[in-house]
Structure 1
Protein backbone atom coordinates (compact mmCIF):
# COMPACT_ATOMS: atom_id res chain seq x y z
CA UNK A 1 0.00 0.00 0.00
CA UNK A 2 1.36 3.40 -0.98
CA UNK A 3 0.20 6.70 0.46
CA UNK A 4 -1.86 9.07 -1.68
CA UNK A 5 0.56 11.94 -1.10
CA UNK A 6 0.90 14.99 -3.33
CA UNK A 7 4.00 13.75 -5.20
CA UNK A 8 2.49 10.34 -6.04
CA UNK A 9 -0.79 11.94 -7.05
CA UNK A 10 0.99 14.38 -9.40
CA UNK A 11 2.96 11.48 -10.93
CA UNK A 12 -0.26 9.52 -11.47
CA UNK A 13 -1.90 12.54 -13.13
CA UNK A 14 1.11 12.92 -15.46
CA UNK A 15 0.11 9.50 -16.78
CA UNK A 16 -3.42 10.66 -17.55
CA UNK A 17 -3.49 12.26 -21.00
CA UNK A 18 -5.56 15.42 -21.23
CA UNK A 19 -6.50 17.89 -23.93
CA UNK A 20 -4.65 21.20 -23.88
CA UNK A 21 -6.90 24.25 -23.63
CA UNK A 22 -6.66 28.00 -23.31
CA UNK A 23 -9.36 29.30 -20.98
CA UNK A 24 -10.29 32.94 -21.64
CA UNK A 25 -12.56 35.58 -20.18
CA UNK A 26 -13.35 39.26 -20.58
CA UNK A 27 -14.17 41.73 -17.85
CA UNK A 28 -13.37 45.25 -16.66
CA UNK A 29 -9.65 44.32 -16.66
CA UNK A 30 -9.86 43.38 -20.37
CA UNK A 31 -9.06 39.99 -21.87
CA UNK A 32 -7.56 37.34 -19.62
CA UNK A 33 -6.50 33.74 -20.14
CA UNK A 34 -4.60 30.73 -18.86
CA UNK A 35 -3.62 27.21 -19.98
CA UNK A 36 -5.58 24.31 -18.52
CA UNK A 37 -5.83 20.57 -18.93
CA UNK A 38 -8.32 20.12 -16.07
CA UNK A 39 -11.35 20.47 -18.35
CA UNK A 40 -14.17 17.98 -18.73
CA UNK A 41 -17.56 17.56 -20.36
CA UNK A 42 -20.32 17.28 -17.76
CA UNK A 43 -23.51 16.75 -19.81
CA UNK A 44 -24.89 17.47 -23.26
CA UNK A 45 -28.39 18.38 -22.03
CA UNK A 46 -28.01 21.14 -21.13
CA UNK A 47 -24.54 21.49 -22.67
CA UNK A 48 -22.21 21.94 -19.68
CA UNK A 49 -18.45 21.80 -19.24
CA UNK A 50 -16.21 22.18 -16.21
CA UNK A 51 -12.84 23.87 -15.73
CA UNK A 52 -10.67 23.64 -12.61
CA UNK A 53 -8.73 26.73 -11.57
CA UNK A 54 -6.28 27.20 -8.70
CA UNK A 55 -7.65 29.77 -6.25
CA UNK A 56 -4.12 31.11 -5.62
CA UNK A 57 -3.82 32.13 -9.28
CA UNK A 58 -3.47 35.87 -9.86
CA UNK A 59 -6.31 35.52 -12.38
CA UNK A 60 -8.75 33.73 -10.09
CA UNK A 61 -10.71 36.80 -8.92
CA UNK A 62 -10.89 38.11 -12.50
CA UNK A 63 -12.49 34.89 -13.73
CA UNK A 64 -14.76 34.64 -10.69
CA UNK A 65 -16.12 38.17 -11.10
CA UNK A 66 -16.44 37.98 -14.91
CA UNK A 67 -18.93 35.10 -14.77
CA UNK A 68 -18.02 33.98 -18.29
CA UNK A 69 -15.31 31.86 -19.87
CA UNK A 70 -14.42 30.20 -23.14
CA UNK A 71 -12.69 26.83 -23.43
CA UNK A 72 -10.45 26.97 -26.52
CA UNK A 73 -9.33 23.46 -27.47
CA UNK A 74 -5.88 23.60 -29.08
CA UNK A 75 -4.74 21.89 -32.27
CA UNK A 76 -1.17 20.55 -32.59
CA UNK A 77 -0.28 23.65 -34.63
CA UNK A 78 -1.16 25.79 -31.59
CA UNK A 79 1.12 24.00 -29.14
CA UNK A 80 3.23 27.15 -28.72
CA UNK A 81 0.23 28.92 -27.17
CA UNK A 82 0.22 26.57 -24.18
CA UNK A 83 3.45 27.86 -22.58
CA UNK A 84 2.58 31.42 -23.64
CA UNK A 85 -0.67 31.34 -21.64
CA UNK A 86 0.99 29.48 -18.77
CA UNK A 87 3.89 31.94 -18.53
CA UNK A 88 4.61 35.35 -17.11
CA UNK A 89 3.81 37.50 -20.16
CA UNK A 90 1.29 40.31 -19.87
CA UNK A 91 -2.20 39.51 -21.11
CA UNK A 92 -1.72 41.86 -24.04
CA UNK A 93 1.43 39.92 -25.06
CA UNK A 94 -0.34 36.57 -24.67
CA UNK A 95 -3.29 37.52 -26.84
CA UNK A 96 -1.00 39.01 -29.52
CA UNK A 97 0.17 35.46 -30.40
CA UNK A 98 -3.10 34.45 -32.12
CA UNK A 99 -6.26 35.68 -33.83
CA UNK A 100 -9.40 36.04 -31.72
CA UNK A 101 -13.11 36.47 -32.36
CA UNK A 102 -16.12 36.94 -30.04
CA UNK A 103 -19.30 34.91 -29.71
CA UNK A 104 -22.25 35.14 -27.29
CA UNK A 105 -20.52 36.09 -24.02
CA UNK A 106 -17.77 38.35 -25.33
CA UNK A 107 -14.97 36.11 -24.04
CA UNK A 108 -12.09 35.76 -26.51
CA UNK A 109 -12.50 32.79 -28.87
CA UNK A 110 -9.37 31.40 -30.56
CA UNK A 111 -10.32 31.68 -34.23
CA UNK A 112 -8.45 28.58 -35.38
CA UNK A 113 -9.04 26.37 -32.32
CA UNK A 114 -10.17 22.79 -32.91
CA UNK A 115 -13.30 23.90 -31.06
CA UNK A 116 -14.30 26.61 -28.62
CA UNK A 117 -17.08 26.50 -26.03
CA UNK A 118 -18.33 29.94 -24.99
CA UNK A 119 -19.88 29.71 -21.51
CA UNK A 120 -21.57 31.51 -18.67
CA UNK A 121 -20.63 30.30 -15.19
CA UNK A 122 -23.59 28.38 -13.79
CA UNK A 123 -21.91 27.24 -10.57
CA UNK A 124 -18.57 27.29 -8.75
CA UNK A 125 -17.54 24.66 -6.22
CA UNK A 126 -14.39 24.87 -4.07
CA UNK A 127 -12.41 21.63 -3.70
CA UNK A 128 -9.04 21.76 -1.94
CA UNK A 129 -6.83 24.35 -3.61
CA UNK A 130 -9.05 24.75 -6.67
CA UNK A 131 -12.47 25.96 -7.75
CA UNK A 132 -14.48 23.97 -10.25
CA UNK A 133 -16.24 26.35 -12.63
CA UNK A 134 -19.26 24.82 -14.34
CA UNK A 135 -20.02 26.49 -17.65
CA UNK A 136 -23.39 26.56 -19.38
CA UNK A 137 -22.41 26.53 -23.06
CA UNK A 138 -23.93 29.49 -24.90
CA UNK A 139 -22.18 29.13 -28.27
CA UNK A 140 -19.81 26.72 -30.02
CA UNK A 141 -17.16 27.50 -32.63
CA UNK A 142 -15.80 24.55 -34.63
CA UNK A 143 -12.44 25.05 -36.35
CA UNK A 144 -11.27 23.52 -39.62
CA UNK A 145 -8.88 21.08 -37.92
CA UNK A 146 -10.21 18.39 -35.65
CA UNK A 147 -6.73 17.11 -34.76
CA UNK A 148 -6.07 17.34 -31.05
CA UNK A 149 -3.22 18.24 -28.74
CA UNK A 150 -2.82 16.32 -25.50
CA UNK A 151 -0.41 16.57 -22.61
CA UNK A 152 0.76 13.19 -21.34
CA UNK A 153 3.91 12.14 -19.52
CA UNK A 154 4.93 15.81 -19.17
CA UNK A 155 5.08 16.20 -22.98
CA UNK A 156 2.79 17.31 -25.81
CA UNK A 157 1.41 14.76 -28.29
CA UNK A 158 -0.60 15.13 -31.49
CA UNK A 159 -3.85 13.19 -31.80
CA UNK A 160 -4.86 12.73 -35.42
CA UNK A 161 -8.22 11.78 -36.82
CA UNK A 162 -8.02 8.47 -38.71
CA UNK A 163 -8.62 8.63 -42.41
Structure 2
Protein backbone atom coordinates (compact mmCIF):
# COMPACT_ATOMS: atom_id res chain seq x y z
CA UNK A 1 0.00 0.00 0.00
CA UNK A 2 1.32 3.44 -0.95
CA UNK A 3 1.78 5.72 2.03
CA UNK A 4 0.98 9.40 1.40
CA UNK A 5 1.58 12.55 3.38
CA UNK A 6 -0.89 15.39 3.39
CA UNK A 7 0.54 18.53 1.89
CA UNK A 8 0.73 21.71 3.87
CA UNK A 9 0.50 25.16 2.41
CA UNK A 10 2.56 28.27 2.99
CA UNK A 11 1.41 31.86 3.22
CA UNK A 12 1.24 32.06 -0.58
CA UNK A 13 -2.22 30.88 -1.59
CA UNK A 14 -2.10 27.24 -2.60
CA UNK A 15 1.71 27.05 -2.53
CA UNK A 16 3.20 23.88 -0.98
CA UNK A 17 5.31 24.23 2.15
CA UNK A 18 9.03 24.72 1.27
CA UNK A 19 10.15 21.81 3.49
CA UNK A 20 7.65 19.46 1.86
CA UNK A 21 8.79 20.62 -1.58
CA UNK A 22 12.47 19.97 -0.71
CA UNK A 23 11.58 16.53 0.65
CA UNK A 24 9.67 15.72 -2.52
CA UNK A 25 12.53 16.88 -4.74
CA UNK A 26 15.02 14.83 -2.70
CA UNK A 27 13.23 11.76 -4.05
CA UNK A 28 13.89 12.75 -7.67
CA UNK A 29 17.21 11.41 -8.98
CA UNK A 30 19.31 13.86 -10.95
CA UNK A 31 22.60 13.78 -12.81
CA UNK A 32 25.43 15.57 -10.99
CA UNK A 33 27.35 18.32 -12.77
CA UNK A 34 30.14 20.72 -11.94
CA UNK A 35 29.41 24.07 -13.57
CA UNK A 36 32.51 26.23 -14.09
CA UNK A 37 33.35 29.70 -15.33
CA UNK A 38 36.44 31.81 -15.94
CA UNK A 39 37.06 35.32 -17.19
CA UNK A 40 37.53 38.85 -15.88
CA UNK A 41 35.49 38.07 -12.75
CA UNK A 42 37.68 35.07 -11.97
CA UNK A 43 37.48 31.32 -11.92
CA UNK A 44 34.62 29.71 -10.01
CA UNK A 45 32.52 26.58 -9.99
CA UNK A 46 29.73 24.77 -8.17
CA UNK A 47 28.01 21.38 -8.05
CA UNK A 48 24.55 21.34 -9.60
CA UNK A 49 21.70 18.98 -10.35
CA UNK A 50 19.44 21.78 -11.63
CA UNK A 51 20.59 21.42 -15.25
CA UNK A 52 18.30 20.51 -18.12
CA UNK A 53 18.24 20.72 -21.92
CA UNK A 54 16.13 23.48 -23.46
CA UNK A 55 16.30 22.87 -27.21
CA UNK A 56 18.58 21.16 -29.72
CA UNK A 57 18.27 23.85 -32.40
CA UNK A 58 19.92 26.04 -31.39
CA UNK A 59 21.52 23.78 -28.78
CA UNK A 60 20.92 25.23 -25.32
CA UNK A 61 20.52 24.22 -21.71
CA UNK A 62 19.27 25.69 -18.46
CA UNK A 63 21.21 25.98 -15.19
CA UNK A 64 19.88 27.23 -11.86
CA UNK A 65 22.07 28.70 -9.11
CA UNK A 66 21.19 30.31 -5.80
CA UNK A 67 21.48 34.10 -5.93
CA UNK A 68 23.48 34.05 -2.67
CA UNK A 69 26.18 31.79 -4.17
CA UNK A 70 29.66 33.28 -4.63
CA UNK A 71 29.92 31.44 -7.95
CA UNK A 72 26.74 33.07 -9.27
CA UNK A 73 28.28 36.53 -9.50
CA UNK A 74 31.39 35.26 -11.29
CA UNK A 75 29.32 33.26 -13.77
CA UNK A 76 27.01 36.19 -14.53
CA UNK A 77 29.90 38.64 -14.89
CA UNK A 78 31.99 36.31 -17.07
CA UNK A 79 28.95 35.54 -19.30
CA UNK A 80 30.36 32.03 -20.04
CA UNK A 81 30.24 28.65 -18.33
CA UNK A 82 30.88 24.95 -18.87
CA UNK A 83 28.60 22.18 -17.61
CA UNK A 84 30.67 19.08 -16.80
CA UNK A 85 28.60 15.93 -16.20
CA UNK A 86 30.28 13.76 -13.57
CA UNK A 87 31.06 10.07 -13.65
CA UNK A 88 30.62 8.05 -10.45
CA UNK A 89 34.43 8.04 -10.10
CA UNK A 90 34.29 11.85 -9.67
CA UNK A 91 32.34 11.67 -6.39
CA UNK A 92 35.07 13.51 -4.43
CA UNK A 93 35.02 16.34 -6.97
CA UNK A 94 31.26 16.76 -6.49
CA UNK A 95 31.85 17.23 -2.75
CA UNK A 96 34.65 19.77 -3.34
CA UNK A 97 32.50 21.94 -5.64
CA UNK A 98 29.52 21.61 -3.28
CA UNK A 99 31.64 23.34 -0.62
CA UNK A 100 32.09 20.28 1.60
CA UNK A 101 35.90 20.42 1.50
CA UNK A 102 36.21 24.01 2.72
CA UNK A 103 37.71 25.21 -0.58
CA UNK A 104 36.48 28.37 -2.33
CA UNK A 105 36.81 29.85 -5.82
CA UNK A 106 39.97 28.96 -7.74
CA UNK A 107 41.22 26.67 -4.94
CA UNK A 108 38.59 24.11 -5.91
CA UNK A 109 40.37 23.56 -9.23
CA UNK A 110 43.33 21.93 -7.45
CA UNK A 111 41.20 18.78 -7.62
CA UNK A 112 40.65 17.01 -10.94
CA UNK A 113 42.25 17.52 -14.35
CA UNK A 114 41.12 20.58 -16.29
CA UNK A 115 41.43 21.92 -19.81
CA UNK A 116 39.48 24.66 -21.61
CA UNK A 117 37.21 24.74 -24.61
CA UNK A 118 36.09 27.72 -26.73
CA UNK A 119 34.85 30.02 -23.93
CA UNK A 120 37.86 29.53 -21.67
CA UNK A 121 35.71 28.02 -18.92
CA UNK A 122 37.31 25.00 -17.22
CA UNK A 123 36.33 21.67 -18.75
CA UNK A 124 36.87 18.54 -16.64
CA UNK A 125 38.88 16.04 -18.69
CA UNK A 126 37.19 13.08 -16.92
CA UNK A 127 33.61 14.31 -17.40
CA UNK A 128 31.11 12.18 -19.31
CA UNK A 129 30.34 15.26 -21.39
CA UNK A 130 31.21 18.96 -21.22
CA UNK A 131 28.86 21.62 -22.61
CA UNK A 132 30.71 24.90 -23.19
CA UNK A 133 28.22 27.79 -23.13
CA UNK A 134 27.69 31.52 -23.47
CA UNK A 135 24.86 33.09 -21.51
CA UNK A 136 21.89 33.69 -23.78
CA UNK A 137 19.46 34.76 -21.06
CA UNK A 138 19.46 35.08 -17.28
CA UNK A 139 16.76 36.09 -14.86
CA UNK A 140 16.01 35.86 -11.18
CA UNK A 141 13.16 33.59 -10.10
CA UNK A 142 12.62 33.85 -6.34
CA UNK A 143 15.92 32.71 -4.74
CA UNK A 144 17.70 31.53 -7.89
CA UNK A 145 19.19 32.75 -11.12
CA UNK A 146 17.78 30.80 -14.06
CA UNK A 147 20.42 30.89 -16.78
CA UNK A 148 20.00 29.76 -20.38
CA UNK A 149 23.29 28.73 -21.95
CA UNK A 150 23.79 28.75 -25.69
CA UNK A 151 26.09 25.79 -26.32
CA UNK A 152 29.13 26.67 -28.42
CA UNK A 153 30.99 23.36 -28.09
CA UNK A 154 30.37 19.85 -26.81
CA UNK A 155 33.16 17.51 -25.77
CA UNK A 156 32.17 13.87 -25.27
CA UNK A 157 34.13 11.95 -22.65
CA UNK A 158 34.54 8.28 -22.00
CA UNK A 159 31.32 6.33 -21.37
CA UNK A 160 31.36 5.30 -17.72
CA UNK A 161 28.78 4.94 -14.93
CA UNK A 162 27.30 8.37 -14.08
CA UNK A 163 27.00 10.02 -10.68
CA UNK A 164 23.44 10.80 -9.57
CA UNK A 165 22.01 12.55 -6.52
CA UNK A 166 18.90 11.18 -4.84
CA UNK A 167 17.72 10.98 -1.25
CA UNK A 168 20.32 13.61 -0.27
CA UNK A 169 23.15 11.22 -1.22
CA UNK A 170 25.34 10.56 -4.25
CA UNK A 171 24.91 7.22 -6.04
CA UNK A 172 26.48 5.36 -8.96
CA UNK A 173 23.96 4.48 -11.64
TM-score, length basis structure 1: 0.93
After the TM superposition, which residues 40-119 of structure 1 pair with which residues of structure 2 at under 5 Å, given as runs?
Answer: 40-87=52-99, 88-119=102-133
| d(CA) in 2 for partners of 1:45, 1:105 | 20
CA distance in 1, matches of 2:152, 2:161: 23
Question: Whole-Å Cα distance in 1 between the matches of residues 151 and 92 of structure 2?
Answer: 26
> Number of paired residues?
159
Could you list the runs of 5+ residues in structure 1 that have no partner in the other structure?
none
CA distance in 2, matches of 1:124, 1:90: 24
The alpha carbon displacement at 1:50 in A equals 0.5
Runs of 4+ deviating beyond 2 Å: 90-93
- Write the deviation string for residues 6-49 of structure 1: whole angstroms up to 9, x where unpaired: 10000000001001000000022432101111000111111000
Within the alignment, does 1:31 sit opposite 2:43 as a pair?
yes
What secondary structure is seen at the aligned counterpart in 2 of 1:16? coil
Return the alpha-carbon distance in structure 1 between the equivalents of residues 106 and 58 of structure 2.
Answer: 34
Q: Would you say 1:14 and 2:26 are equivalent positions?
A: yes
Per-residue CA distance 1:112-152 (angstroms, 9 max, x = gap): 10000000000012111001110000001111124211001
Contact 2:43 2:74 (8 Å CA) reproduced: no
> Rg bigger for which structure?
2
Give the structure with the larger strand fraction.
1
Q: TM-score, normalised by structure 2?
A: 0.88
Say yes or no: does 1:139 pair with 2:153.
yes
Structure 2's unaligned 5+ residue stretches are: 1-5, 9-15
